[in-house]
Amino acid sequence: MVIFAQNNTFMANNTYPTFTDVNTLGEFGLIEKLTGDVVLKNSSSVKGIGDDAAVMNYGNQAVVVSTDMLVEGIHFDLVYTPLKHLGYKAVVVNLSDIYAMNATPTQITVSIAISNKYSVEALTEFYEGIYKACEMYHVDLVGGDTTSSPKGMVISITAIGHRDKDKVVYRSGAKKGDILCITGDVGAAYLGLQILEREKAVYLEHPGVQPQLRDNQYLIERLLKPEAQRGAVTYFAQNNIVPTSMIDVSDGLASELKHICTQSGVGAFVEEGKVPIHPDAERMAIEFKLDPITCALHGGEDYELLFTIDEQDLEKIRYMPEVFIIGEITDASDGIKLHTTGGNIHDITAQGWNHFKAKES
């Protein structure tokens, strides 16, 4: 007898293959498992998997490419996400990865899979957001793909940018003594999400009740309409600064710092009192009975840039319009630590988002 196995291969009698749940590896473990053996064949492929964007060198210029996918029900909920905002955000999160390489984005491609619940009008609104982001960040929409989906919407955007090849910044260049900086406050988008989820639950139970959003404009906007940190990259170029390492904060400050430390072979400490937290985020964290610093370290989707600079460049960032010095790079053996305002030292562990944990529908 032959049985038809789960993965469409025919199995001999009584030999059942074992299937491993993807949750056992987590997102990063799974990527490593699937792509860990990739060997780059072309001399133009300078950096493949493992940074915010891939880097290809052509002459003195590096071309950087990044792609991200957003799935309805996992990354966005249309109950509280206006389609125009969704289009805008889908572009911005990709541009953020290009800026994280210290590069300038120039083109995007947009691929969508849509179920028949989407009208032409709805998709036109979604594209209004895409065009708005293209205008804001001066990028061109140059292609994509359109197909149908059995359920919901899937958006995949690829962003392309460029930079002089010796100015590209990777996650791997931080060294002991470097200063750890961030371009803006963290934790607000996570709290925006908590508010919208709370109001959604109220709305589903009592459809007549108006959501209480007015006092929380800032937090909600941080989630629904994030901006990419173009200003920081422009400032670096104008002031002849090349950060030693950089990453954008999509999964949470702790998780991103761990990427920098692992790839650079260093440790770091963060001073709790220096981490920028918006007063609204602080107030709302307390309302949700959460620790504001926990939200700041582990909440995702802030799209700020976390970067390190050589201590000799400290003077050069003094006049940067939006920058916060939050810590320092140490030896790998020192680990990744939080120096609390109370004078204690704690390990910072990366939690980040784990989309696989979302329920399959």
Q: Is 35 in the site for ligand ADP (CB under 6 A)?
A: yes
Least distance to ligand ADP, CB of residue 316, Å: 26
The reply on whether position 52 binds ligand ADP by CB under 6 A is yes
**Nearest to ligand ADP of 97, 313 (CB atom):** 97
Of 229-288, binders to ligand ADP (CB under 6 A) are 250
Judge contact between 114 and 126, C-beta under 8 A: no
Length of the chain: 361
Q: Which residues form the interface with Mg ion (CB under 5 A)? A: 52, 97, 248
As given in the structure block, the two tokens for residue 189 are 């988008």
Per-residue contact string for residues 57-86; x = within reach of ligand ADP by CB under 6 A: -----------x------------------
Helix-, strand-, coil-residue percentages of the chain, each rounded to 5: 35, 25, 40
Nearer to ligand ADP, 155 or 285 (CB): 155
Q: How is 296-344 classified by DSSP, letter by letter?
A: HHH-----PEEEEE-GGGHHHHTT-SS-EEEEEEEEGGG-EEEE-TTS-
Q: Which stretch binds ligand ADP (CB under 6 A): 44-52, 267-275, 303-311, 352-360?
A: 44-52
Does 97 engage in binding with ligand ADP (CB under 6 A)?
yes
What is the Cα–Cα distance from 150 to 361, expressed in whole angstroms?
Answer: 12
Residue that is written with structure tokens 């799974």 in the block: 30
Rule CB under 6 A: say whether 31 interacts with ligand ADP: yes
Residues contacting ligand ADP: total by CB under 6 A: 10
> Pairing state of beta strands 45-47 and 179-182?
unpaired
**Cβ–Cβ under 8 Å, residues 251 and 353:** yes
Rounded CA-CA distance 101/20 in Å is 34
Contact flag: residue 354 with ligand ADP (CB under 6 A): no
At 319 the three-state DSSP class reads: coil
The region of 30-38, 277-285, 306-314, 353-361 touching ligand ADP under the rule CB under 6 A is 30-38
Q: How far is the CB of 175 from ligand ADP (least distance, A)?
A: 22
The closest of 211, 156, 188 to 292, measured between CA atoms, is: 188
Among 22, 49, 202, 358, binds ligand ADP (CB under 6 A): 49
Binding interface with ligand ADP (CB under 6 A): 31, 34-35, 49-52, 68, 97, 250
